[in-house]
Every structure is written in C-alpha cells, then in structure tokens.
Amino acid sequence: MSKYMKDPEYLFSILAAIVKKNDGFLRLTEEEISAVNKNDIIGMYFEPETNSIVFKKVDPKDALNASSIIKERKNTDIYDN
C-alpha cells in the first residue's frame, strides 16, 4: 500500500481538494457508499507532465497488467497505487 494512503493528513488534503473542486459541496448517499466493494479499484497516478495527481477507476481485469507496469517502474514515483 502506498505511503500516501497511510497518511491521514494527505488523505484529508485529497478529500478537501475534491470537495473544493466540486464548488465546495459533495454529497455521497449511504447507497452510493454501500455500493463500493472490493472489486472497485481506483488507481492513483502522478503525472509529471502536468504536475497533477490522477485518480482513475481501474477495470479489475486490467489491474494485473497495471501491477506489472508498476513493478517495472518501481524505482520511479510516477505510478503509486
């Protein structure tokens, strides 16, 4: 697991940025939260060209392919899941 995903301050900063990007308001219903399961995979990537963090839903069947890319680039901080 990423060192960033273990850092509560970092996670709160990400959440705050998402809410601010959405005009300061974001509602998640209990149904929406309950619909999330272990098959829902979100990738977090750093894009050096734009100096941006990208969150993207990853298809479970593509997750194995993504993990091999990450292993190949382990010495860089471009990909971080």
pLDDT of residue 78 exceeding 80: no
Note the pLDDT tens digit of each residue in 1-48: 578 778 999 999 999 999 999 999 999 999 999 999 988 888 888 899
Q: pTM of this prediction?
A: 0.63
pLDDT for the residue 2: 73
pLDDT, average across residues 50-66 = 82
Instruction: Give 66: exposed, middle or buried? Use CB within 10 Å, 0-12, 13-18, 19+.
Output: middle
pLDDT for the residue 45: 86
All residues at 6 or more sequence positions from 77 whose CB lies less than 8 Å from its CB, including other chains: 46
